[in-house]
Amino acid sequence: MLQEEIRRRNLGTLLRHVHLDGSVSRAALAERMGLNRSTIMALTLELTAAGLVREDAPTDTGRSGRPSLVVRPRTTGVYVLAFDVAVDWLTAARVGLGGVILDRRWAARPRAGADLDRVVGVLAGFGRQLHEAAPPEAVCVGVGASYCGMIRPGDGTVRFGPDLGWVDQAFGPELGRRLGLARPVPVGNEAHLGAVAEQRRGAGLGFQNMIYLHGDVGVGGGIIVGGKLLDGDGGYACELGHMVVNPHHGRPCGCGSHGCLEAEVGERALLDAAGRPADLFGRGALRDVVSDAGRGDPAAREALHRIGDWLGVGVANLINLFNPGIVIFGGMLRDVYPAAAEPVRARIAASVLPVARERVRLRTSALGDDATLVGAAELGFSELLADPLRGVVPAL
Amino acid sequence: MLQEEIRRRNLGTLLRHVHLDGSVSRAALAERMGLNRSTIMALTLELTAAGLVREDAPTDTGRSGRPSLVVRPRTTGVYVLAFDVAVDWLTAARVGLGGVILDRRWAARPRAGADLDRVVGVLAGFGRQLHEAAPPEAVCVGVGASYCGMIRPGDGTVRFGPDLGWVDQAFGPELGRRLGLARPVPVGNEAHLGAVAEQRRGAGLGFQNMIYLHGDVGVGGGIIVGGKLLDGDGGYACELGHMVVNPHHGRPCGCGSHGCLEAEVGERALLDAAGRPADLFGRGALRDVVSDAGRGDPAAREALHRIGDWLGVGVANLINLFNPGIVIFGGMLRDVYPAAAEPVRARIAASVLPVARERVRLRTSALGDDATLVGAAELGFSELLADPLRGVVPAL
């Protein structure tokens, strides 16, 4: 019984290595897992028989001696469906084992007025299309969704979705029902999932302590502490966008407060600071400010400097609190940060204690707008990775 | 070999339960550790033989049936020396297994001008006195120290001690040398150790996610995430006192920045706000402001309201970031918070997202000014608890 448990855990660990690395030699697996080669071979054979991995001769390494076989994920044969409800779009994707996006569907969505039924309807439709377009022998092993709001852990309920005005909406359960699943779709907050994705497959690779700032209309956060997402007592931690940085003269925030980081550096703040019309919004408008600043437009430059100063206050505070190895700017901040890096760095130099800023890196997201989707896919794969043999039950 | 390792780990776990709880029945130990009673008995006998615990018949429980023996720490026979370098005093104590302060020495210290040699000299003298006053059969099993500054993990070097102007001072090594030990004394930041102490023995008991704010001249922090102290990449996390809350109109801070939380709510800020003379300082002066406010003095009330408002900005930010179960006010904030609770709560109501403030508690420290000393003692006990039989080597 204990032996069986150890075997299942080892299967999961091996599959996780293969899933995250894409291809790993048997020799490397033996070393990383502290097991001998014959055990690795036995585990690999089981996962091969279950259709989860395959083994190849490695491409010539130039070294002498018998080369170790390379284990790879069966990317096209084993997939999850990943969904992303972002502020400006709905996306669904078929993501293969190994984290490869194989196929996707995308639709713009209006900023307001989309109720649960409509959103779930679009996503479920995408899900069916993706499933039908998959090769007949491919197996769906899980589902995961990202949502731009606060999610109750466990059941996928949206506690608070500010841009759609959702409060306590049964998003995960309803999406599960519409996909014909027997249970809710696991759902995560977009910035949390983006952080996990960046840490596993992006700019945060190898970092155990990491801060991910995700900009859309507002600013969300995913904070990795000791390799794990900071969740707090109820799963509602990481709300760095509602850190008040301007307590007495702050802009009003969607949350009802004033001077929150997202109120000072969010989309509206930047567009207002650049003197753009009040009815302009969206990623395109933001990028216009950035490119205008690049061409020397004084109003755009001044706006980016101002937003960068507030962003710097927030980032400096986060570095003092978390002493992270890396800070990653994602979502629309991926466009904004490079144009506002100077005031951000100035605030860090002024306010972060030297010992904590000695080694911290500032980077933009490597996965870009796919970060949240890739994170949702990781959520979908988690059950398979926890118990690879039990997990191979068609989820759809 | 594996069996021996399991046995040692079990000995440590059992001793930790007894150390933290004070007295635990064999039956309760069996249940908590998932082991049968005969294994618990064998482990207890080993720890008894090593002089670490003793077993007593329980006081009458009123229940029928044979009562389970109660295991207690040998508090007076097994101790550590704990040291505390605080802003206004130097303390040393003999702390018995079970966390009981058995004896202590205390000296006021000036706010400035104390160099490493002088501080270590006083503490080492205290250490020798405490050791000599101990019963001859008592065994010293460890040493630990708390310091009011940033500490490099591992070697007890003070990276930055703002109030004494210490930079890269070999405090732990030097204290170890002066005590005649073969190695450095482990040292922790006072707020980190205070947090650990409050979580294990104080107001934070049972909480896995906790924020401890420690006020002295400034404000330090210890943040518990998932039961563990947040350390960050280099061990310099938790610097909540240098969270900038007033970026454009802030008071200068000792760190060189402006508008840090500690600059706005620290001792000087409160005394200035209350119109006290610039040469007045210390805990007594702070308590005078609090008691004057209690008697209705308008300047003192206004000062506490103002400090409470800034404190509230900081605490609200921390709740949004960490979603803790409890926030604990220690050090001088133990005096200040009750008199400034209203503006703190108002800021939380205004700025913390409802889902994160649903269940958070705000409390003052249960251990008071002993929190840091108790935390230093826990540091001293850590080696014994990791390996109880190897640990019983007189450290002094």
Same domain flag for A136 and A109: yes
Same domain flag for B225 and B301: yes
Q: What is the DSSP string of B164-221?
A: TTEEEE-HHHHHHHHTT-SSPPPEEEHHHHHHHHHHHHSTTTT-SSEEEEEESSSEEE
User: What does the pLDDT read at residue B163?
Assistant: 81
Q: With an 8 Å Cβ cutoff, are A322 and B230 in contact?
A: yes
Residue A223 forms contact with B (CB below 8 Å): yes
From the number of C-beta atoms within 10 Å of its C-beta (0-12, 13-18, 19+), residue B370 rates as buried
Q: With an 8 Å Cβ cutoff, are B239 and A321 in contact?
A: yes
Same domain flag for A159 and A248: no
Q: Of B55, B73, B91, which residue constitutes the final position of a domain?
A: B73
Residue B201: inside a domain? no
User: What does the pLDDT read at residue B141?
Assistant: 94
High-pLDDT (> 90) share of chain A, %:
85
Same domain flag for B309 and B344: yes
User: What does the pLDDT read at residue B392?
Assistant: 52
CA nearest B319: which of B215, B205, B202, B213? B213
Cβ count within 10 A of residue B208:
16
Q: With an 8 Å Cβ cutoff, are B243 and A320 in contact?
A: yes
CA atoms within 13 A on the CB side of B337: 24
Residue A299 forms contact with B (CB below 8 Å): no
Q: Chain A interface, mutation test: which of B155, B158, B323, most A Cβ atoms within 10 Å?
A: B323
Residue B346 forms contact with A (CB below 8 Å): no
Structure tokens at A293: 């600043």
Same domain flag for B214 and B355: yes
Same domain flag for A231 and A326: yes
Window A:348-367, CB contacts with B under 8 Å: 350-356, 358-360
Same domain flag for B168 and B105: yes
Same domain flag for A350 and A268: yes
Residue of B nearest to A261 (CA): B317
Task: Measure B205 CA to nearest chain A CA, in Å.
Answer: 14
Same domain flag for A113 and A221: no
B219 contacts in A (CB within 8 Å)? none
Residue B206 forms contact with A (CB below 8 Å): no
Same domain flag for B263 and B359: yes
pLDDT < 70 stretches in chain B = 1, 60-66, 391-396
A234 contacts in B (CB within 8 Å)? 323, 355-356, 358-359
Q: Of B53, B73, B93, which residue constitutes the final position of a domain?
A: B73
Find out whether B244 and A313 touch, Cβ atoms under 8 Å. Answer: yes
Same domain flag for A173 and A256: no
* Per-residue confidence band for A198, with pLDDT thresholds at 50, 70 and 90: very high
List the single residue in B159, B256, B353 with the smallest CB-CB distance to A239. B353
Number of folded domains that form chain A: 3
Same domain flag for B246 and B282: yes
Cα–Cα distance measured from residue B274 to residue B151, given in angstroms and rounded to the nearest whole number: 33
Residue of B nearest to A321 (CA): B238
Q: With an 8 Å Cβ cutoff, are B247 and A245 in contact?
A: yes
Find out whether B193 and B378 touch, Cβ atoms under 8 Å. Answer: yes
User: What does the pLDDT read at residue B394?
Assistant: 47
A121-135, A290-304, B146-160, B369-383: which has the minimum mean pLDDT? B146-160
Does residue A392 register a pLDDT over 80? no
Q: With an 8 Å Cβ cutoff, are A321 and B247 in contact?
A: no
The domain in which residue A315 lies consists of: 206-366
Total H helices, total E strands in chain B: 15, 16
Q: What is the mean pLDDT of residues A95-123?
A: 93
Residue A187: inside a domain? yes
How distant is the alpha carbon of residue A78 from its chain centre?
Answer: 20
- Taking chain A, what is the end-to-end CA distance rounded to the nearest angstrom? 31
Cβ count within 10 A of residue A326:
23
Does residue A87 register a pLDDT over 50? yes
Q: Of A73, A102, A134, which residue constitutes the final position of a domain?
A: A73
Q: What is the mean pLDDT of residues A34-39?
A: 94
Residue-wise pLDDT tens digits, A224-256: 999 999 999 999 999 999 999 999 999 999 899
Q: Chain B interface, mutation test: which of A199, A231, A242, A246, most B Cβ atoms within 10 Å?
A: A242
Cα–Cα distance measured from residue B71 to residue B29, given in angstroms and rounded to the nearest whole number: 9
Q: What is the mean pLDDT of residues A292-313?
A: 98
Residue B166 forms contact with A (CB below 8 Å): no
Residue B197: inside a domain? no
CA nearest A314: which of A343, A272, A287? A343
Q: CATH number, domain at A309?
A: 3.30.420.40
* Per-residue confidence band for A175, with pLDDT thresholds at 50, 70 and 90: very high
Q: CATH number, domain at A23?
A: 1.10.10.10
CA nearest A104: which of A129, A85, A139, A141? A129
Find out whether A208 and A325 touch, Cβ atoms under 8 Å. Answer: yes
Q: With an 8 Å Cβ cutoff, are A232 and B356 in contact?
A: yes
Residue-wise pLDDT tens digits, A44-67: 999 999 999 999 887 765 666 667
Residue A198: inside a domain? no
Residue A200: inside a domain? no
Q: Chain B interface, mutation test: which of A150, A189, A243, most B Cβ atoms within 10 Å?
A: A243
